[in-house]
Amino acid sequence: MPDINMLEIENACREEGFLNICGVDEAGRGPLAGPVVAAAVILPENCEIEGINDSKKLSEKKRDALFDVICEKALAYGIAFADEKEIDEVNILNATFNAMKRAVSSLKVKPDIVLVDGNADPGLDIECRTIVKGDAKSASIAAASILAKVTRDRFMCSLDEKYPQYQFKKHKGYPTKLHYQLLDEYGVSDVHRLSFLKKWQKAKEQENG
């Protein structure tokens, strides 16, 4: 059973009269490649999912197992992307907000209130509360965190098949030492975020001087 504290925020919202409480979180703001993915989840009242927590604290195997449980138990869930082109065009924060809006608008049940991980309001047309480290405090946000993370990881594994030289399956696009080594060797691909690679490109230009 999860720590009952994971339901405290949702229970407090219900006491205020909110029925359909939606948690929203994202995965992939920091990588050099691929999309940012947002998820929105409305759980039934008193829904306890064993092991639910911030996706970053869970093993890949545990996240995969919880993904199916969340999809099965949720009243509604939505998952949406903002790709690397959109990130370069509008910046990562706005692209993240766009993905969050898409995820919420795709829900088959309309939420009465949205709980968003972090301290930035994405600008939804529904009452919204931001919760710093919400993925470790709210079951709804934690559920959204897991759906977003698993979806993005699976997507990056699919990119690994298309661009095997970058080994996306290993680093999922994050700025690891291996990823930079592969960029040095193969250059930039169609799925890299150019706005995230300006320092690297400048260093390469100076190196090639």
pLDDT for residue 3: 45
Tens digit of each residue's pLDDT, the chain (209 residues): 444 489 999 999 999 999 999 999 999 999 999 999 999 999 999 998 988 876 678 899 999 999 999 999 999 999 999 999 999 999 999 999 999 999 999 999 999 999 999 999 999 999 999 999 999 999 999 999 999 999 999 999 999 999 999 999 999 999 999 999 999 999 999 999 999 999 999 988 887 76
Q: Are 117 and 24 in contact (CB under 8 A)?
A: yes
Domains of the chain from N-terminus onward: 4-161 (3.30.420.10)
Instruction: For 127-178, write each residue's pLDDT tens digit.
Output: 999 999 999 999 999 999 999 999 999 999 999 999 999 999 999 999 999 9
- In angstroms, the Cα distances linking 159 to 34, 43, 89, 123, 189 are 8, 31, 21, 31, 11
Q: Are 41 and 147 in contact (CB under 8 A)?
A: yes
Distance CA 125, CA 205 (A): 45
Distance CA 26, CA 152 (A): 9
pLDDT for residue 147: 97
Torsional sign, CA 102, 124, 110, 49: positive
Q: Are 178 and 33 in contact (CB under 8 A)?
A: no
Identify which of 203, 159, 164 has the alpha carbon closest to the alpha carbon of residue 186. 164
What the block records as the tokens of 2 is 């999860």
pLDDT for residue 53: 75
Residue given tokens 């994971």 in the structure block: 6
Which amino acid is it at 27? Answer: A
Distance CA 74, CA 134 (A): 18
